[in-house]
Amino acid sequence: MYPYAIHPITQQPCKIPDAGWRYATLNTMLKQIDLKLVEFREDHTQPPYRKAHLLPVPDAIEDNLDIDSEEENDEEEDEVAGLQVMPSVIYRQSQVSVKYLRQLMGYKAFDNPKDHEVLSTIIQYTTKQNSLIFDFYGGSGTTAHAVISLNRQHDLKQRNYVLTEMGSHFNTVLKPRLLKAAYSPDWKIGKPQKRDDGISHTIKYLKLESYEDALNNLNLTRPEGVQKTLTEAEDTAGILTEYYTEHMTGIEARGSKTLVDMNALEEPFFYTLKVATGGVGVTTERAVDVIETFYYLLGLRVKRRFTVDGVRVSEGTTARGEKVLVLWRSVKAVSDEALKALWIKENWEEKISPALIYVNGPTSLQTLCPPTARWSVLRTEHEFARLMNTIEEIK
């Protein structure tokens, strides 16, 4: 241990802190002293302490400032210019992030954005290299930008993020910001200053069905006999109340697209919903990705996707580690016999060795399973209905 903190008045080595010196090398300590970032006490009997700035430090200090931590190794040192780390506070002037986002987007795109460098520091201190970071109030996308910046700095650290945002600025601010952040770290008036520092990055975003969309896609059809039963019931008021509050949706809305029309899954590539697009009652038919919806319900971790002879194939694993193969087809275009012929030709039983195989539409693929095999075929519609807690007859 070097007694390299010499008191400027007594010229004696200062007392060493109980936890040891914060800086690992003599040069680092001397540099902090030269920059007047180390404050000495009245004499050498007490250890000095490091200054913490509540305002941006001068440029001369920013260029030479190192933020050290006893818990970080050399590869994880955080060297954020102008950023000060205090025992329980990380502070940076708000105008820094405002000006940065304006340069990135080319205009004032968002009021009061958070500082992505501050969040990078917090994330680096509190998460692991492969952590998944959640931000349920995505805002302008600062959290995701912070993760992208960390991944750019450290190739081996591949953190991921999940954001949720309901504001209309998602398409105008949040998504464009993340695309720009991945393309280049430096921007001026909306133009990249570096074009060779982009990182490989995939951004996947989902638009959830709104309450209004769910209502717009409910088709209520009262089965024959139900109306007669309700009309002839002695306790008409009580029966109607119970029917409307507990049974009507499950009975009359059966087959509605908002609840997933199971029979329509025989043509899964053309599934649509009515989506509100303007004033009250204005809707437009739009395609819906029921395939991806099924994977989320199933908890499937998709490893590979490919298409063979009109059949879309997805290979993955469940949370329990079971190998799964999902086969999607247009039942009109790919018959059951054609599907079985494709199974034999591609030899997926040997190449992939799945434990579970999901197939949409009627199929007898299970008949190809030899007695010694340990795979089984499930109808996708049946599993979809179970996971959606929907009980209905599937043709």
Instruction: Tell whether 247 and 164 lie within a shared domain.
Output: no
Condensed to tens digits (0 to 9), the pLDDT of residues 17-27 reads 887 777 767 78
pLDDT of residue 128: 87
Instruction: Tell whether 219 and 308 lie within a shared domain.
Output: no
Averaged pLDDT score across all residues of the chain: 82
Instruction: Tell whether 98 and 180 lie within a shared domain.
Output: yes
Q: Are 340 and 364 in contact (CB under 8 A)?
A: yes
Give the span between the Cα atoms of 335 and 46, in whole angstroms. 85
pLDDT band at 35 (very low <50, low <70, confident <90, very high): confident
Q: Are 276 and 314 in contact (CB under 8 A)?
A: no
Give the span between the Cα atoms of 179 and 202, in whole angstroms. 9
The pLDDT of residue 111 is above 70: yes
Instruction: Tell whether 98 and 185 lie within a shared domain.
Output: yes
Instruction: Tell whether 273 and 304 lie within a shared domain.
Output: no
Instruction: Tell whether 341 and 303 lie within a shared domain.
Output: yes
Is there a domain that residue 64 lies in? Answer: no
Tell me the average pLDDT across 358-378.
91
Q: How many CA atoms lie within 13 A of 155 on its CB side?
A: 2
Instruction: Tell whether 302 and 349 lie within a shared domain.
Output: yes
Condensed to tens digits (0 to 9), the pLDDT of residues 295-344 reads 999 999 999 999 999 999 999 999 899 999 999 999 999 999 999 999 99
pLDDT of residue 30: 82
Residue ranges of E strands in 42-127: 49-50, 84-85, 90-91
Instruction: Tell whether 279 and 257 lie within a shared domain.
Output: yes
Of 259, 287, 315, the one marking the end of a domain is: 287
Condensed to tens digits (0 to 9), the pLDDT of residues 172-182 reads 999 999 999 99
Structural domain that includes position 183: 90-192
- The number of domains in the chain is 4
